[in-house]
Amino acid sequence: MPTDVVSALREAIRTIPDFPKSGILFKDITPILGNAELLNRAVDLLAAPYKYSGITKVVGVESRGFILAPLLAQKLNAGFVPVRKQGKLPFETHYVEYDLEYGKDIIEMHIDAVKPIDRVLIHDDLIATGGTANAVDLLVARSGAYLVGFSFLVELLALNGRGQLRSGVQAHAVLSV
Ligand code: AMP
């Protein structure tokens, strides 16, 4: 992987302290999104490890997972499937309830969006504790599809979210901070 591109991406990410609440160091990826060259390279680097994996569906998580997942899907010649917060999807859904730092959340996916024959890549912009990615894994499992891997633009190493993901499934992050 060309380290200069990864460095350029890392430098473009803005860290905003205490957003959206006190104690959070928010990683703002919008400077990458707004730069045509960086956006292109980011999508290339997200796609690279899965180019020959026969991915048929990229599952993206609301809300920032929706930004790059469709671009990644297009690059991999796959479809895009949205996973949304409870009550947002119009058709019948599978759902999973999962723990947040404070309280619980429910995410949903249309029951016909992913089929047992699909080979799935789960994408989110960032992995922190791994709770969200794990919940999406459970959701995809409900469909009976094969999970090929996880894909993130940013990994927060200090929280070891990677260690919470299902073992034996590839997990790739373009950059870690
Ligand atoms: P987690 O479930 O803890 O792995 O959190 C991942 C989700 O929360 C992703 O959808 C991220 O967009 C968001 N997130 C968590 N921590 C941060 C952070 N420090 N900066 C930006 N987004 C974050």
Would you say the C-alpha torsion 172, 169, 102, 159 has a positive or negative sign?
Answer: negative
**34: its two tokens:** 């707004």
The tens digit of pLDDT for each residue in 121-152 reads 999 999 999 999 999 999 999 999 999 999 99
**154: its two tokens:** 């940013």
Contact 153, 46 (CB under 8 A): yes
What would the mean pLDDT of 27-43 be, rounded to a whole number?
Answer: 98
- Determine the pLDDT at residue 102: 75
In this structure, how many other beta carbons lie within 10 angstroms of the beta carbon of residue 90?
7
Does the C-beta of 170 come closer than 6 Å to ligand 1?
no
Query: 23 CB contacts (<8 Å, ≥6 apart)?
Result: none
Atom number of ligand 1 nearest to Cα 64? 12
What would the mean pLDDT of 72-97 be, rounded to a whole number?
Answer: 98
Mean pLDDT of the chain, nearest integer: 96
Paired residues of 39 in beta bridges: none
Tell me if the pTM is above 0.85.
yes
State yes or no: is 14 an active-site residue.
no
- Determine the pLDDT at residue 103: 85
In this structure, how many other beta carbons lie within 10 angstroms of the beta carbon of residue 177?
14
Which is the catalytic residue, given 10, 64, 142, 166?
Answer: 64
Least Cα distance to 14 among 160, 177, 157, 129 occurs for 177
Does the C-beta of 128 come closer than 6 Å to ligand 1?
yes
Contact 27, 126 (CB under 8 A): yes
State yes or no: is 64 an active-site residue.
yes
- Determine the pLDDT at residue 3: 60
The tens digit of pLDDT for each residue in 47-71 reads 999 999 999 999 999 999 999 999 9
Residue 74 has pLDDT above 90, yes or no: yes
